[in-house]
Amino acid sequence: MCGIVAWYSQSTGPELVETGREMLSRIVHRGPDDSGQTLVGERTWLGHNRLSIVGLEDGAQPLEGPRGWAMVCNGEIYNDAQLRESLSGFRFGTGSDNESALALLALHGPRALDRLQGMWALCAATPDGRFIAARDRLGIKPLYWAKVGDTHLFASEMRAFSLDVQHAVAAFPPGCWWTPEDGLVRFAEAVTPAEVRADAVEQRTRDVLVDSIRRHLMADVEVGVFLSGGLDSSIVAAVAADEYARRGARLKTFSVGTTGSPDLAAAREAAEFLGTEHHEAVFDAAQAIDALEDVIASVESYDAGLIRSAVPNWFLAELAARHVKAVLTGEGADELFAGYGYYHEQHPAPGELRRELERTVGLLHGLNLQRCDRVTMAHGLEARVPFLDTAVVTHAMSLPDEVKLLGEDGIEKSHLRRAFTGWLPDSVLWRRKLEFGTGSGAQDLLTPYWERQVSDDDLAVARADTDTQVRSKEELAYYRAFRRALPEIRPHSVLTRFALA
């Protein structure tokens, strides 16, 4: 995992090399282990800050390949071993999983990128002026870009861009690649459903998840699990703990909350049942308020729901980073298996639920995945999301709506719970859904605080500003902190701004 920066220009100058170096320095937190850069021909510069997870000894970037190709990549390629077997015409020089992405580009061009299974964003170039930028189908790993004159700038975070460029920054769209010749081209959709047989559906759901979780443990370092005590993270912990036991090792799990919060209690119960080495971070109101500026600057958002969950995530990542360099999380399960109450309240008609799930899966890159990536990488920690593996997404989105409806007792994700019967204590397996900001206790600290601190008049003035679009006093407070961190970013322009070719 890492942070990447690149630029491509039709008319380069020496000052652009310094621009790249300055951008790279602003995201050094994403890769504290190493840093590398290279000028590729006259039109491209590539920079990389590295967090070493796979290929510890020989995985430094930029990576070099045949025909002058050079590449920087942020992410993990989980089918690296299979790709290496199939790409017999490429001489691999490192143990880095990212090199399989470079091999695909060098041998088959950007149209082969749909063969990559994992989370990634990359920029690559050759000395003769070829250049490509691309991002995984779900946008699990971040990438932003800006066009200034005849120069395109790319970076893992918005904060990398200087103030005079921030007005032009946009999110690079997931599932797309860009070249100067072809423009922006989509190579993969977020959701590609397949047919699922009606028999043994729960067994197949369990099998596909177990396989994904085990593959996401691929690393040359120890991997832990964020364990909230909710269904999704507990399933991940259960499978990971079983895999670590097979290796003769003990899984490390991490939970967070205020004193007496329900998440802490449930996580302890799950950890004891699974026999993990469990660690806790406990925070109070003063600590939560003190951390807000750093959290908002890191997450690069002011959405109140996102920040309420990002605050406990901040303390959780800080704790985990003292013990491991990578963690698995339960992100994406609610969007795949209809875990949120509004899915069932607002989309009860046949077909409606599927369409809404597809919509929200497609938006994850600008919401929960953004929070997950930024908060962990702020502490030099890699977060992996096994529920969002391509095979899991394809399976889950192929299930009929009926499988995802509320159970007779009104509880959500009954299908997923039944699939993992026996893997967890029933009190955890059938624990009702609580938003992370609620279960950790963060909402009870933050929302009342800002209700007292922000006046009704301030909120009325902010709501009259069509560029601000805040929904509450709490969100107004977060918007002000967002503005201090990124004064020139247009908050609602960091969705895709460039048309697809």
DSSP state of 42: T
Dihedral angle, C-alpha 79, 85, 89, 90, nearest 10 °? 50
Neighbours of 490 (CB within 10 A): 14
CB 344 within 8 A of CB 412: yes
Nearest to residue 209, comparing CAs of 182, 242, 184? 242
Beta-bridged to residue 360, according to DSSP, are none
Q: How many residues does the chain have?
A: 501
Amino acid making up residue 261 = S
Calpha distance 48→2 (Å, rounded):
7
Residue 256 assigned as binding residue:
yes
Cβ within 8 Å of residue 135, ≥6 positions away? 120, 121, 122, 141, 143, 172, 173, 174, 175, 176, 177
CB 62 within 8 A of CB 98: no
Nearest to residue 255, comparing CAs of 394, 429, 76, 441? 441
Order the strands of the 151-155 sheet from edge to edge.
34-40, 44-50, 2-9, 151-155, 144-148, 170-171
CB 285 within 8 A of CB 449: yes
Catalytic residue list contains 2: yes
Residue 208 assigned as binding residue:
no
Strand blocks (E) in 78-116? none
DSSP state of 51: -
Calpha distance 150→129 (Å, rounded):
14
**Of all helices (H) and strands (E), which one includes residue 238?**
helix 231-246
Catalytic residue among 2, 123, 176, 372: 2
Asked if omega into 193 is within 30° of 0 (cis), the reply is no
Report the phi/psi class of residue 56: left, alpha or beta, with left for phi > 0 and alpha for psi in -120 to 50.
Answer: alpha
Beta-bridged to residue 383, according to DSSP, are 327
Helix intervals (H) in 300-455? 304-320, 333-337, 341-346, 352-363, 368-377, 390-396, 401-404, 414-419, 426-429, 436-439, 442-453
- Binding residues for L-glutamine are 97
Annotation: binding site: 97, 256
Residues forming the active site: 2
User: Residues at the annotated binding site for ATP?
Assistant: 256
